[in-house]
């Protein structure tokens, strides 16, 4: 005979917590930071950067905070995410998802601080100890970009990212492809075969031109081609793949798991690149990454923005088993006298070494924001807009 002993669960008292205030800061060079304050004196930070649309994103954050989140318990992150998203009849798109992304990240920061654990512990614990980061290199000429590549390797990076072309015509003449080939060839010659190279098409070229470029650049063994076509033309990705052996990547202009659904289910690319700042934050991007794992697709989180967004990416990189490499434009190899990292009390917190970084292991996002500097910079007039490019005939080119 088996006997069943019933144990009475002791009463557990969970102390309440409430969001009491918030502030949104638009700061140089083009970033939007969010500060959430609670009645327990804990403060959470998030980043809702959407380059060129700061004012609209700030307004979206303020609307959500005023009409929904103030007075709520910040620990109920999934409930809040669903309310911020499903509570809108008109949803998706970069503005709303960037606002949700910044708020969601701040909620995770608060939750980690409440439980005195880094976010990666709350997401399931480490799947790795560190992750490689790549540095963007640029230059007008092939020699300029090869010099930038040499500097980046000297600074310790093992992965570089470069643009293949600037603006292009509808169907570029062969010399355009040849210029791109010379740029990539110069970098490969400079850094050798041991350095990985991501070649970014930035969705600037037409499908026909992308086929030609992909075939021409294959011999230089890129790690992957980033955004070979614009999001509106994903059905053409198999055409690009048919002309190249290099893996394909995309995703920085997709803003939810539903936007990624066809890409992942159709296995249209080998690498997806969601950006937590514009794709719904940590909660949403973790779900996107998990879906990609089921399709054997790698993840390289997009993060050309500020240190809060970068910290959020690193927390996810530690727990996402299919994470490949982490993008950044913060020049984290040089934390001293680095204006981009002055928004942190400790600019060395990311610990760049041998081309990789570890996620900070302090509670929450693991960083301490320099509030005094944030408030000072927020007094400046920030109105960053990307340039508008023109073809020779005066028509508008893709930026």
- pLDDT, position 383: 84
- pLDDT, position 392: 81
Element spanning 54, H or E: helix 54-64
How far from chain centre, in Å, is Cα 96? Answer: 16
Query: Judging by beta carbons within 10 Å of its beta carbon (0-12, 13-18, 19+), is residue 71 exposed, middle or buried?
Result: exposed
- pLDDT, position 303: 92
137: which 2 tokens? 């290199």
Quick check: is 31 in a domain?
Answer: no
Q: Give CA–CA dist 212/54, Å, rounded.
A: 36
Alpha helices in 155-300 (DSSP H): 174-191, 207-217, 237-241, 257-265, 281-294
Residues 6+ apart with CB under 8 A from 20: 37, 38, 39, 70, 71
pLDDT digits (tens, 9 = 90+) for 80-96: 999 999 998 999 999 99
Give the domain CATH number at 261: 3.20.20.120
- pLDDT, position 12: 39
pLDDT digits (tens, 9 = 90+) for 108-138: 999 999 999 999 999 999 999 999 999 999 9
- Average pLDDT in the chain: 92
Quick check: is 237 in a domain?
Answer: yes
- pLDDT, position 166: 67
Range of the domain at 170: 124-361
Sheet hosting strand 19-27, strand order edge to edge? 19-27, 31-38, 43-47
Quick check: is 102 in a domain?
Answer: no
**Sequence-separated contacts (24+) of 229-238 with Cβ below 8 Å:** 229/201, 229/203, 229/205, 230/203, 230/398, 231/203, 231/259, 233/207, 234/262, 234/263, 234/268, 236/207, 236/210, 237/268, 237/269, 238/268
Strand runs labelled E in 81-149: 131-136
pTM of the shown model: 0.93
Low-confidence ranges of the chain (pLDDT < 50): 1-13
224: which 2 tokens? 């992957």
- pLDDT, position 9: 39
Longest dimension (CA), the chain: 90
Quick check: is 17 in a domain?
Answer: no
Total domains present in the chain = 1
How far from chain centre, in Å, is Cα 151? Answer: 24
Instruction: Check if the beta carbon of residue 306 is closer than 8 Å to that of residue 33.
Output: yes
Partners of 248 in the beta sheet? 225
Quick check: is 387 in a domain?
Answer: no
Instruction: Check if the beta carbon of residue 292 is closer than 8 Å to that of residue 286.
Output: no
- pLDDT, position 191: 97
């Amino acid at each position: 005979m088996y006997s069943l002993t019933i144990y009475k669960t002791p009463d557990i008292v969970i102390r309440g917590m409430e969001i009491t205030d918030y502030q949104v800061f638009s700061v140089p060079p083009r970033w939007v930071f969010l500060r959430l304050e609670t009645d327990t004196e804990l403060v959470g930070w998030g980043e809702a950067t959407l380059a060129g649309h700061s004012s609209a994103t700030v307004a979206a954050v303020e609307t959500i905070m005023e009409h929904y989140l103030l007075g709520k318990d910040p620990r109920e992150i999934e409930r809040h995410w669903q309310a911020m998203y499903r509570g809108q009849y008109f949803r998706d798109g970069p503005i709303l998802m960037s606002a949700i992304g910044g708020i969601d990240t701040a909620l995770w920061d608060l939750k980690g601080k409440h439980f005195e654990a880094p976010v990666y512990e709350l997401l399931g614990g480490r799947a790795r100890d560190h992750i490689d980061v790549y540095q963007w290199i640029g230059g007008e000429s092939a020699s300029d970009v090869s010099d930038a590549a040499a500097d980046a390797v000297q600074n310790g990076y093992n992965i570089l990212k470069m643009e293949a072309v600037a603006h292009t015509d509808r169907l570029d003449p062969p010399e355009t492809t040849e210029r791109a080939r010379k740029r990539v060839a110069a970098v490969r010659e400079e850094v050798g075969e041991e350095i990985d190279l991501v070649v970014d098409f930035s969705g600037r070229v037409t499908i026909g031109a992308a086929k030609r470029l992909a075939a021409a650049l294959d011999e230089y063994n890129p790690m992957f081609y980033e955004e070979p076509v614009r999001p509106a033309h994903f059905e053409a990705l198999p055409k690009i793949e048919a002309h190249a052996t290099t893996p394909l990547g995309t995703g920085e202009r997709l803003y939810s798991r539903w936007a990624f659904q066809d890409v992942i289910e159709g296995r249209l690319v080998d690498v997806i690149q969601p950006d937590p700042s514009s794709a719904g934050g940590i909660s949403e991007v973790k779900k996107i990454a998990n879906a990609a794992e089921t399709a054997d697709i790698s993840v390289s989180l997009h993060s050309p923005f500020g240190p809060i967004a970068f910290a959020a990416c690193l927390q996810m990189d530690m727990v996402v088993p299919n994470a490949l490499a982490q993008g950044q434009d913060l020049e984290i190899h040089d934390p001293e006298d680095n204006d981009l990292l002055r928004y942190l009390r400790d600019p060395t917190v990311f610990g760049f070494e041998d081309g990789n970084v570890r996620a900070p292991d302090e509670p929450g996002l693991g960083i301490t924001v320099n509030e005094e500097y944030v408030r000072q910079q927020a007094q400046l007039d920030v109105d960053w807009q990307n340039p508008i490019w023109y073809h020779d005939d005066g028509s508008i080119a893709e930026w």
